[in-house]
Amino acid sequence: MKPLGILPVLLAIFSLVFIGATAFAGTYKWVDAKGVMHFSDRPQPNLSPPPVESPPASVPVLLPKKGIEKEEILPVKKESAPERLKESTKLYDFRGKVAETIGVDMIVLDSGKRIKYIGVKDPSFFLSKNGMDRKIEDAHAYHKKLVKGKTVTVLLGEIEKDQEGSYLGHVFLGQQAFVNAELIRNGYALTEDYPSDFEYQSLFVRLQSYARDKGLGIWQF
């Protein structure tokens, strides 16, 4: 068999290229609404190209104000009681440790402040007058045992000081004892009137009557 010449081969290649070009020349490409690509030999005039998402508009960046690094949260002030009530309600004027006792009606704090018990009278004169001097030491010893070396709180009266410069006050041993009242109730002190402080006057009178009737302290005849 005789081999084919080069001319028939070139003609075959040219035919294939021409036919392919012609075929693709009548082919139309389109994309449906779902974004699927199609090929057709006819144009599709009623189909619009799939919508192309436009790039999002630039979003402005909110920069913090100069000098502010984070949001500041102001604490909410919680008040257990109205401030006005706190200011008007005075629990005591001062406190301190008792360094010395004087008689039965006075103490000296470690700060040097000298306090005279309101409504309390030392019984020394009364006892001496009635020939009971031995009971004076008993009264002084009871007073010293009751308060010396202990911390007391002092609430001053309407008149803060007497003529000698001593503070006039009601004295308390925490919540354990009202010292002014305890001295009278146990019969180791007398009571006396304080015209400027009537708050506990009736109480002191009743306590003195109680101690006398029970024969307590200096009332033991």
Q: Span 8-12, mean pLDDT?
A: 48
Give the per-residue pLDDT at 41: 52
How many angstroms separate the CA atoms of 95 and 112, rounded? Answer: 12
Which is higher by pLDDT, 204 or 6? 204
Residues 213 and 105 grouped into a single domain: yes
Residues 130 and 205 grouped into a single domain: yes
Phi-psi domain of 174 (left: phi exceeds 0; alpha: psi -120 through 50; beta: other): left
Share of the chain above pLDDT 90, in %: 46
Q: Span 156-160, mean pLDDT?
A: 90
CATH number of the CATH domain containing 197: 2.40.50.90
Residues 123 and 198 grouped into a single domain: yes
Residues 132 and 30 grouped into a single domain: no
Residues 29 and 111 grouped into a single domain: no
Residues 194 and 107 grouped into a single domain: yes
Whether 70 maps to a domain, the answer reads no
Residues 22 and 108 grouped into a single domain: no
Asked if 83 and 67 count as a contact pair (C-beta separation under 8 A), the reply is no
How many angstroms separate the CA atoms of 120 and 147, rounded? Answer: 15
Give the per-residue pLDDT at 193: 81
Whether the pTM exceeds 0.75: the reply is: no
Residues 123 and 19 grouped into a single domain: no
Residue that the structure tokens 């440790």 belong to: 97
Residues 106 and 211 grouped into a single domain: yes
Phi and psi, residue 215, nearest 5°: 70, 45
Please give the mean pLDDT across all residues of the chain. 74
Whether 114 maps to a domain, the answer reads yes
Whether 77 maps to a domain, the answer reads no
Distance, C-alpha 122 to centroid of its chain: 46
Over residues 31-59, the pLDDT tens digits come to 556 555 555 555 555 554 444 444 444 43
Whether 76 maps to a domain, the answer reads no
Whether 93 maps to a domain, the answer reads yes
How many angstroms separate the CA atoms of 7 and 156, rounded? Answer: 135
Over residues 174-213, the pLDDT tens digits come to 888 999 999 999 999 999 887 666 678 889 999 999 999 9
Return the H-helix or E-strand segment holding 106.
strand 106-109
Whether 127 maps to a domain, the answer reads yes
Residue 192, token pair as written in the block: 């006396």
The range of the structural domain enclosing residue 13 comes to: 6-40
Over residues 146-157, the pLDDT tens digits come to 999 999 999 998
Judged by DSSP in three states, 37 sits in strand
Whether 201 maps to a domain, the answer reads yes
Give the per-residue pLDDT at 101: 97
Domain count, the chain: 2
Q: Is 206 exposed, middle or buried (0-12, 13-18, 19+ CB in 10 A)?
A: middle
pLDDT at 82 over 80: no
Whether 92 maps to a domain, the answer reads yes
Residues 31 and 129 grouped into a single domain: no
Residues 202 and 116 grouped into a single domain: yes
pLDDT at 86 over 60: no
Residues 25 and 96 grouped into a single domain: no
How many angstroms separate the CA atoms of 188 and 184, rounded? Answer: 6
